């Protein structure tokens, strides 16, 4: 009988580890100041982390684990886009196109649809080398079917697409010119994800693995947990849909369309990790594909300024990302 109970307990422990979420990977150095992180690795092996606030805060490290060191602001003069919020830039996205790095960013204010997506360029990623080019031509205002924030660029065989959007009809996409400084002249924004019940999807990131393009996005309340904590389950979580095309047809693990309230949970609150989101995916040379994001450590505090940098390796063996 003792052996029976021991076997049951071992099974329960194993089940917990299989069906639960892994804790975030190691992080040392400056692991805060990391809202909406964007990670890129330079050819010399230096990791750069760009994040919301501080006119796009820049941190570097020799490894994804750190130690992360603050280097300064990517755009110390703010954005040339003449909109409210042009000194408090959001949701950076960094990509290497040829020999040039592109930094996309959002100009907006919280809860307002009057927003724009800008872009800057650099040859090295270093602080002090970024040139602001201003607007990409993606702009929203009251009454439009989208909000122009949270940009993400994907290159599909030399064709460039920018995916973006938030709580106004959720996530959209446009074609970009080559090089991708502005919207293609014949492109109109089209929807790639939408929850008709509760429009609270944003922060899109498209990552190709195998034969599929995976659309990762954040769902729920992002911020203000210290003053306005949502009901359980209403906080940020990371979702995914997939498609064989980067431009649409995304469905969740049950086959439900991402444009019809579909979506499969990748990572949500567990243990002392709360409200993970603002995510991206990077194919790390050491760890393989990793999901990176910000989160609240409930043992530290719920304030936006206390959000931590998190990352986990991703297992795609089932055809769906598991952390």
Identify whether 104 is part of a domain.
yes
Residue 282's domain comprises 2-313
Q: Where are the beta strands (DSSP E) in 159-200?
A: 159-166, 170-176, 190-193
Residue 93 and residue 281: Cα distance in Å, rounded?
11
202 is catalytic: yes
What is the per-residue burial (b if ≥16 Cβ within 10 Å, else e) of 51-75? Answer: bbbbbbbbbbbebbbbebeebebbb
Q: Which of 192, 135, 151 is nearest to 169 (CA)?
A: 192
Split into its structural domains, the chain has a count of 1
252 is catalytic: no
Residues in the chain with pLDDT < 50? Answer: 1-19
Q: What pLDDT score was predicted for residue 17?
A: 37
Identify whether 321 is part of a domain.
no
Kindly report the CATH number assigned to the domain that includes residue 154: 2.115.10.20
Residue 32 and residue 10: Cα distance in Å, rounded?
37
Burial of 16 per CB tally in 10 Å (0-12, 13-18, 19+): exposed
**Structural element, H or E, at residue 132:** strand 131-140
Q: What pLDDT score was predicted for residue 20?
A: 85
What tens digit of pLDDT does each residue of 153-165 get? 999 999 999 999 9
Identify whether 323 is part of a domain.
no
CB-CB contact of 206 with 152 (8 Å): yes
Residue 105 and residue 118: Cα distance in Å, rounded?
5
Identify whether 61 is part of a domain.
yes
Identify whether 322 is part of a domain.
no
What is the per-residue burial (b if ≥16 Cβ within 10 Å, else e) of 28-43? Answer: eebbbbbbbbbbbbee
Q: Which of 169, 164, 266 is nearest to 205 (CA)?
A: 164
Q: Which of 170, 201, 202, 235 is catalytic?
A: 202
Specify the pTM.
0.93
Q: What pLDDT score was predicted for residue 3?
A: 43
Identify whether 318 is part of a domain.
no
β-pair type (57-61, 190-193): unpaired
């Amino acid at each position: 009988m003792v052996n029976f109970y021991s076997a049951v307990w071992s099974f329960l422990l194993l089940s917990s580890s299989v069906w639960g979420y892994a804790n975030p990977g190691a992080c040392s150095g400056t692991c805060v100041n990391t809202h909406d992180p964007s990670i890129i690795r330079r050819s010399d092996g230096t990791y750069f982390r760009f994040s919301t606030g501080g006119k796009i805060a820049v941190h570097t490290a020799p490894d994804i684990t750190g130690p992360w060191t603050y280097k300064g602001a990517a755009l110390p003069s703010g954005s040339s886009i003449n909109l409210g919020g042009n000194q408090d830039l959001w949701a950076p996205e960094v990509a290497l196109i040829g020999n040039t790095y592109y930094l996309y960013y959002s100009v907006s204010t919280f809860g307002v649809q009057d927003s724009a997506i800008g872009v800057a360029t650099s040859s090295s990623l270093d602080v002090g080398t970024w040139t602001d080019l201003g607007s990409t031509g993606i702009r929203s205002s009251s009454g439009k079917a989208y909000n122009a924030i949270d940009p993400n660029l994907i290159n599909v065989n030399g064709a460039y697409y920018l995916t973006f959007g938030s709580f106004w009809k959720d996530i959209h996409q446009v074609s970009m010119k080559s090089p991708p400084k502005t919207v293609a002249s014949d492109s109109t924004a089209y929807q790639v994800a939408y929850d008709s019940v509760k429009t609270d999807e944003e922060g899109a990131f498209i990552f190709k693995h195998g034969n599929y393009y995976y659309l990762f996005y954040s769902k729920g309340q992002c911020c203000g947990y210290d003053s306005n904590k949502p009901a359980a389950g209403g906080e940020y979580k990371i979702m995914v849909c997939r498609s064989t095309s980067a431009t649409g047809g995304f469905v969740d693990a049950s086959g439900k369309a991402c444009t019809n309230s579909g979506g499969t949970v990748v990572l949500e609150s567990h243990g002392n990790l709360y409200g993970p989101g603002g995510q991206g995916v990077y194919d790390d040379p050491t760890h393989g594909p990793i999901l990176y994001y910000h989160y609240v450590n409930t043992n530290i505090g719920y304030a936006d300024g206390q959000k931590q940098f998190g990352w986990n390796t991703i297992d795609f063996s089932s055809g769906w990302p598991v952390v």
